[in-house]
Structure 1
Amino acid sequence: MLLRWSIYFCGLLLMALGIVFTIRAGLGTSSWDVLHIGLFYTLGLTIGTWSILVGALILTLSSILTREFPKLGAYVNMLTVGIFIDLYMQVPFLQTPVLFTGRITMLLSGLVIMAYGMAFYISARCGTGPRDSLMIALVEKTGYSISRVRRTIEIAVLLIGWLLGGPVFIGTVICTLFIGTLAGIAIPQCQQFTDALLRRLFYQEEYVSNSVIKEKM
């Protein structure tokens, strides 16, 4: 469990960092952050706070769809990602690059980091976060692929965020079109890595336990 939760928190830290990269790139953010920033512009509070509040709403919807209470990790995700975002936003050297090439590099790097952060924390099986819980619930309900479901959600959220005044630019289009594809690639890879790591740890523990038993006999 210690290893699972360590992988989980590393994934959350990576995902929050990727989110901040896309925001700081200044080319338009991912659809969820268009929504969070639009709410920030309209109603105040902080971007991280809106991430938490929207997450609570989405988690409730996911629970209704699956008819199950979320795991502890889902609540941890809901709270910590918003906090991590606000903390990363205060880091002095995470600023918008001057050159366009720097901005596009920061945006694309943020997308990859976000996708693999999400994939790592999902692979720990400590409970998916609100937005990914909704994605997985819809995948199970509809039978559609992760990429297709994620892309549909992103577009719907983007429209709401845009109506609230969130920043929409070329980076938003890139995020909306490709985050689902990147997630579809990253999740199986990270799940395979985490499962192999956990199996290796389990067999090591079994070996040590059996060795201790033999010594006592």
Structure 2
Amino acid sequence: MRVWTVDDVMTTAVVTVEPGASYREVVDLLIGRRISAVPVVNESVQVVGVVSEADLLRKIEYAGDEKPRLFDGRRRRDERAKAAVGTAADLMSAPPVIARTGMSIAAAARLMDAENVKRLPVIDDHGRLLGIVARSDLLKAHLRPDDELRDDVLTGMLAPYFADSVREVDAQVSDGAVTLTGRVDRASTADAAGQVTRQVPGVVTVVNAIDWVWDDRQTATGGGYGAA
């Protein structure tokens, strides 16, 4: 099964600014393009930072009150400092939170959550910008057709992992919901089949209705013939 990565869902036509872009230029760009953030790139198209709406709003939030106060914490001082500057290099959040080419969409989702960001510039091994992936882009895997998902489950996931032990297993898919049916020798195989099916990008939920002959999850004294 092919693993979905940020390369599969990212936007490649990315709007960028240079470090010397003025505050007004960045504001005009975000409003004109209806975007909420823009990567800042150098002459080699390497991402050096990101300017977001939140960065730009500091000038409004601290208008006329840019001087640090005695009990301001570091974060507050940084925010006040951004209110007084005028170029992208001064406004941007750096170093940027980025995704490298080939990162799985699951890893990208975890990174966005951990860093509390809404989008990730995608870079190559030299730090050059390839595209940008937003939270909404990560949901594109759930737009995959049901027949494509079924093929991934049966031939892309179950067959390579379990070979002949799941040759009697079938999968029905409806709106991303997978129902596994059939019969296998061991209960642990049935359980594992359900677990790996959940890993297929685009699968929403799994109903595991696979029967088994021997419950190898039981202790040696607990018996175990039957069907789940």
What is the TM-score when the length of structure 1 is the normalising length?
A: 0.26
Larger strand fraction of residues: 2
**So what's the TM-score if we normalise by structure 2?**
0.25
Which structure dedicates a bigger proportion of its chain to helix? 1
Q: Which has the higher contact order (CA 8 A, sep 6+)?
A: 1
- Which one has a bigger Cα radius of gyration? 2
